[in-house]
Amino acid sequence: MSNLLDDYEALVRKRRATRHFVDDPVDPALVDRLLGIAQWAPSGYNLQPTRFAVVTGRAIRPALRRACMDQAAIDEAPVVVIFAADHRAYENHIEETLALDLAAGATTPEYVEFLRGILPLAFRRDPLSWLWKTALLPFVRWVRPIPELPAVNKRFWLAKQTMLCAMNFLLAAEASGLNTLPMEGFDTARVRRALRLPRHWEPMLVVALGRARPGTAPRKTRLPLERIILRR
């Protein structure tokens, strides 16, 4: 167990954002394997709202590079993966995911019925439910704990789900011998147009994937751990 933890810690400490890549191809089967690993990240209600757009061709690279603030890695990396969040994951996939969980024995019929009762409260955004969720819940919190509802701030909920998948992907890529550059600096609307994404897919993170150009691995530091821990 300790050896496994040691190996994992070394992997996490070794991973760095790679600014420049060599033009070596990446096996498409390996890319799919990395995406499959990313897909196994935790997912609220198992809705799995993360979507992947994989760019390997050259045709859309100029438009994508402009959308990503002219970052050179968009052209240099053999693969660019856009992690997008599906705003309609609940509406389009809740029954499918519940059925899959039931068939796999991952849940019970009783819990499925429970979820069917509470999930509309969490996700529905019709005018009446939106009114009480935004206007009344702050007052209810004075007397009982209330979780944050995806319906009130869906982008926040979706971003959390997507980033869990992205971290799985970054570490899996490092374990495979590849390097990555996660990019937050991009114009969301332009990325969507460049890739012709469905309107309900919102790009959350752009990741360049490939092999680092020799000599480009940066040094990194972190704050002392005791500076960022609050102990009770």
- Residue spans of the domains in the chain: they are 19-87+163-216, 90-140
80-94, 130-144, 212-226: least confidently modelled range: 130-144
More confident residue, 13 or 217: 13
CATH superfamily of 19-87+163-216: NADH Oxidase (3.40.109.10)
What span, in angstroms and rounded, lies between the C-alpha atoms of 221 and 134?
41
pTM: 0.92
Q: What is the pLDDT of residue 217?
A: 67
* Residues in Cβ contact with 18 at an 8 Å cutoff, skipping those fewer than 6 apart: 73, 179, 180, 181, 208, 210, 212, 213, 216, 217
pLDDT tens-digit readout, 190-199: 999 999 999 9
Structure token pair of residue 87: 């705003």
DSSP class per residue in 166-226: HHHHHHHHHHTT-EEEEE--S-HHHHHHHHT--TTEEEEEEEEEEEEPTT-PPP-----GG
Q: What is the pLDDT of residue 1?
A: 56
pLDDT tens-digit readout, 8-20: 999 999 999 999 9
